[in-house]
Amino acid sequence: MTLKTRLLVASAAGLFAATPAMAKPLDGASTDVMIQGFHWNSASAGGWWNTVKNNAATLKAAGFTMVWLPPPSDAASIQGYLPRQLNVLNSSYGTEAELAAALAALNAQGVKPIADIVVNHRVGTANWADFTNPTWPGCNAVVQGDEWTSACGNADSGEGYAAARDLDHSQAFVRADLKTWMNSRLKGVGFAGWRFDFVKGFAGGYVKEYVTDTAPWFCVGEYWPTNSFDANNPNDWKQQIVNWVDATTGTCAVFDFATKGLLNDALTNNNYARLKASDGKPAGVMGWWASRSVTFVDNHDTGPSESCGNGQNHWPVPCAKVMQGYAYILTHPGIPTVYWPHYFNWGLGDAIKTLIGIRKSAGLTSESTVSIQRAESGLYAAIIGGKVAMKIGATAWSPGTGWTLAASGTDYAVWTTGTTPPPTTANVEFVCNNGTTVLGQNVYVTGSIAELSNWSPTTPNILSPTAYPTWRGTFALPANTALQWKCLKRDGSGNVVWQGGANNTVTTPAAGGSITATATF
């Protein structure tokens, strides 16, 4: 049965009627936008969980609803992809206490933390297979034919992984301990969902069991086909990727490596015709099974390692064309994922935030319709959901009258009709009343978001005296954001005196505009 026929039959027969109950079903029109909350070198400087915590409010203000975080357990590799003691949540990214604080900050902002879980393979504590925390008898926990020994376990249900011991998921104790780790340790510390690493290494049926028994808010698998991508025949990869989703009976989404490959070819070779399939739909997995397609421009593996990146340089989009990629995935169906360095380190944050705002304001979802207008050398243009028009490529194009230009940059533009993108900032006037300020002292405000210096007493925002003893200052902050703040003063010698008592709170207006927040100390 062909994929297209199989999907039509599945829809008619109600294939997913028996899908296990999850906190957030994948079927339906998702408005989620995810950010990969790390890069390949995030652990190198230490304290990454604190970086995530300090940016929780910024992520919410940008419109992200999920953040995919790196492997949280003790590991033999600094990046965490050679897991060692699963139940130990002290890692190169920080301590368990720092992890818990970061997850609490994200959950408080309504941004769901998604854990990168590596269950295909594991390393021993002191040697090849002396597994501890949880403790497993190495021989029975490892598949037959592993590099360590060929005499143990049952046959591997997927591809081998040479850098660590391939786990035998057919063993009930292995599955039981993995599910306990996921339910008790990971969900217990604050995670809401899973990103399954290297899922081609074990059968998709096991993923279904893990999802059924842990009920994540969201899950996505990394199925990166082994054979080389052929832009002339993207259906090969699309079929492999969708076959894996089928094996999970649709309980898990998947990263759309087919769309990634097509974007790479289009942006590298100016061949935007790649983005349109023969049936007129988007040419990636999003054109076949949009609700299961998690799209991305680059990630910690594919992204460039040179001066413009923080990845392993396996398969990057040209650095100068990254925003074209975001103009595509943030307007199209599927669940788009933004790469942390692109947002925070490349100076693209405002442009990406604008595109997310357009997506949300127009009500675009994982299942929005796409009407491709042009797909040729130098130009791809489409109308999505009847509300957003976009084009990428150097060739000029316009959707015509009745449309308003909402975002543009080098070789990309996005228009809206009948919608207005929501304001991204609101003006907050902070008022600090202080009756004991003397000559030479200054009064400042600091708080829980980056725009208020993330509680730093060394780089807070200075206020201006008005009618003594009142100090005022107005700052542009993310709209529709709940934040905490305090006044402080510092004399000429650098001594800092904080406002006492509990933190002040304020929520910036969702519709932009201005608000005043006042405190006395």
**Count of beta carbons in the 10 Å neighbourhood of residue 239:** 16
Measured CA to CA, the distance from residue 142 to residue 206 in angstroms comes to: 16
- Number of helices (H), then strands (E), belonging to the chain: the values are 13, 24
Give buried/exposed letters for 321-360 (b at 16+ CB in 10 A, else e): bbbbbbbbbbbbbbbbbbbbbbbbebebeebbbbbbbbbb
* Location of structure tokens 């990969």: 36
Q: Which two tokens stand for residue 321?
A: 């064309």
Map 234-268 to HEC letters. CHHHHHHHHHHHHHCCCCCEEECHHHHHHHHHHHH
CA distances from 384 to 17, 212, 358, 416 (A): 29, 34, 12, 10
Measured CA to CA, the distance from residue 507 to residue 521 in angstroms comes to: 21
Backbone angles phi, psi at 138, to 5 degrees: -50, -45
Q: Which of 98, 116, 197, 298 is catalytic?
A: 197
Measured CA to CA, the distance from residue 425 to residue 145 in angstroms comes to: 58
Q: Which of 32, 222, 246, 298 is catalytic?
A: 222
- Check if 246 is active-site: no
- Check if 209 is active-site: no
> Hey, which residues are catalytic here?
197, 222
